[in-house]
Structure 1
Amino acid sequence: MDCNAHRTGYDPGFLGPAIEPPARAGEGAAVAYDDGEVVPYAHFSLSMHGARRLARWVAWNIDGGGLMRLNRTGIRFTKDRRVPAGHQAGDELYSANRLDRGHIARRADLLWGGREEAEAANRDSFYFTNIAPQLDDFNQSSRQGVWGRIEDALFEDVEVQGLRASVFGGPVFHDDDRVYRGVPIPREFWKLVAFLHDDHLTARAFLLTQNLSVLEALEIDEFRTYQVSVAELEDRTGLRFDAPLHDADTLAVTTDDALRRPLDAPADIQW
């Protein structure tokens, strides 16, 4: 089977209204970052940050009504030959240490469509371009369960039209991220979920962090999931999100970090 046959990438019109992928602040939508182009896969696209050797953003579509259960037997993490090897962090980063290989676009989100299409997405999800290093403290955090279940909670708690959603996510890059084996390890991650409810586009943004304060400590602490505004996510990431996402972000959140509480359970999410 042609490995590129199903690599149509993220679909901006998946929900009806066009929603373009993120862009770097001050630039047009879906432009190349650094020397990396927007790379299409089965049901998702991404753009690499060459200097950081990780994706700056990943954009994916979910058809919740067509999801399949596929195992990962025989699928190995591998570098994508379409992207310069030196711009991807591979097994040389993850061997013999506490770092986990964390999917940015969840594998389970991508397994929909026809059988061959879903199998192609399953394989594509394991390219290192879609992987970010996560400390085992991150994965074992009591609040990590909230982060991992954001998409599940959406379909369980909201009458989403067509059970379809578009999601964007990635690491937050800081200049003082700790360098390990030549790769600065992100200590924050972000996610933005868009969906239709009662014929209206809705957008919700989330940040996984140890501390909402910009002056956060570098010590390893428990990671927490917060709901934030799209505008705040822009400030945090240096990305610019498409105008429809700003218009669809109707959630009122306090800007006082001292008063904001992390999400302790998926039921705490305000859709």
Structure 2
Amino acid sequence: MEEALSAPPAAEMSMDAGPPPAGYDADFLGVDVPLPSPTAPRSTALLGYPRFSVMQDLDRRLAVVTGVNIDGATLLDIARSGSWRLERRIERDQQAGPDVYERNDLDRGHLVRRRDPGWGERDEARAATVATFVYTNAAPQVAGFNQSKDLWLGLEDHVLEYAEIQDLRLSVFTAPVLAAADPPYRGIHIPLRFWKVAAWVDPDAGVTATGFVLDQSELVAPVVAARAVPPLGAFRTFQVALAEIEELAAVDLGPLVAADILSAPGARDTPDWIPLRTPADIRLG
């Protein structure tokens, strides 16, 4: 989840010309892993971008689900470029735009990370990273969190490293928890929590998945009240059982719940919420 930026050449901003990109590929891992879907009635729009999709909640003006495909074998180091822009395929009042982030301690937090779709041919990879700078792929996060994001943003990288193979493919899903108790602010409700699920194929175990929750609850209230941001210690990240994430976020994770590392036979005594302080705390086997 990242903040921005220098403006790219106009030729890179081609999302409004021609057919929309295909977006998230459910067969990317070689087995069917569908994009999660809300379990509660919501007014949504499914938007495709290069190698990722956003399911936008049109009433909450934020994503309820995002999904991205990551090819670790061809992931490139693309120079940072991009300029935050509104999504033209939906109405302005159906997305949280720049006015939400002005003159306060909120940052535009990437949901699909800038680097995640940046793989394959360099031109395609660069266009995919630029495409992540769209307001439908952003959610408000307290500035202190976004500037101290090593653990949360490094979760996908840690899973890639754990596999110890260069050609690992991941499908990663991330979104805010759109809860009724989220505090109102400038026409939206600021999410207090975010969830992330990573899925891959283990050569021995088949489809494997694990999930995480980030909690910024203790830092949101001061922002809404226009007071100073308290110390960073209030940010908390957890590894969480996927059944818990389904209930918390009101999303259907489909076959991934049964593939959850924390529900494996050898993990029966594992708590449903594991506090994380460093990547070494993550349980992946």
Distance 1:10 1:129 in 2: 15
Aligned residue number for residue 174 of structure 1: 179
Distance 1:52 1:153 in 2: 31
Is the CA contact 2:118–2:129 (under 8 Å) kept in the aligned structure 1? yes
Whichever residue aligns with residue 131 of structure 1, its letter is A
Task: Tell me the alpha carbon deviations over residues 191-241 of structure 1, each in whole angstroms, 9 at most, x when there is no partner.
Answer: 000011224211001111157xxxxx9677611111111110011001111
How many residues matched? 254
Deviation, 1:40, is 0.6
Distance 1:173 1:6 in 2: 26
SS of the equivalent of 1:162 reads coil
Distance 2:116 2:195 in 1: 16
Question: Is 1:194–2:199 an aligned residue pair?
Answer: yes
2:48 to 40, 52, 55: 40
Is the CA contact 2:63–2:175 (under 8 Å) kept in the aligned structure 1? yes
Distance 1:151 1:86 in 2: 32
Deviation, 1:85, is 1.2
Is the CA contact 1:160–1:195 (under 8 Å) kept in the aligned structure 2? no
Question: Is 1:247–2:264 an aligned residue pair?
Answer: no
Question: Is 1:23–2:28 an aligned residue pair?
Answer: no
- Give the share of equivalent positions with the same residue, in percent: 40
Distance 2:134 2:27 in 1: 25
Aligned residue number for residue 237 of structure 2: 225
Deviation, 1:250, is 3.1
Deviation, 1:60, is 0.5
Aligned residue number for residue 12 of structure 1: 26
2:135 to 128, 133, 145: 128
Deviation, 1:51, is 1.3
Distance 1:207 1:181 in 2: 25
Whichever residue aligns with residue 14 of structure 1, its letter is F
Unaligned runs of 5+ in 1: 28-32, 212-216
Deviation, 1:160, is 5.0
Distance 1:134 1:82 in 2: 24
Aligned residue number for residue 214 of structure 1: none
Is the CA contact 2:116–2:129 (under 8 Å) kept in the aligned structure 1? no
Distance 2:27 2:182 in 1: 35
Deviation, 1:108, is 0.9
Deviation, 1:72, is 3.1
Structure 1 consecutive aligned stretches of length 4 or more whose deviation exceeds 6 Å: none
1:93 to 95, 100, 111: 100
Is the CA contact 2:142–2:216 (under 8 Å) kept in the aligned structure 1? no
Aligned residue number for residue 207 of structure 1: 213
Stretch deviating more after TM superposition (44-53 or 159-168): 159-168
Distance 2:188 2:137 in 1: 16
Is the CA contact 1:161–1:197 (under 8 Å) kept in the aligned structure 2? no
Aligned residue number for residue 262 of structure 1: 275
Deviation, 1:155, is 1.5
Whichever residue aligns with residue 17 of structure 1, its letter is V
1:70-89 aligned within 5 A: 70-73=78-81, 75-89=82-96
Distance 1:50 1:6 in 2: 19
Across the aligned residues of Structure 1 and Structure 2, the Cα RMSD in angstroms comes to 2.4
Is the CA contact 2:45–2:58 (under 8 Å) kept in the aligned structure 1? no
Deviation, 1:186, is 0.5
Deviation, 1:139, is 2.4
SS of the equivalent of 1:147 reads helix
Deviation, 1:118, is 1.0
Distance 1:58 1:124 in 2: 13
Distance 2:274 2:128 in 1: 36
Distance 1:203 1:157 in 2: 13
Deviation, 1:7, is 1.4
1:87-166 aligned within 5 A: 87-140=94-147, 144-160=149-165, 162-166=167-171
Unaligned runs of 5+ in 2: 1-10, 223-229
Is the CA contact 2:37–2:65 (under 8 Å) kept in the aligned structure 1? no
Is the CA contact 1:192–1:203 (under 8 Å) kept in the aligned structure 2? yes
Is the CA contact 2:112–2:174 (under 8 Å) kept in the aligned structure 1? yes
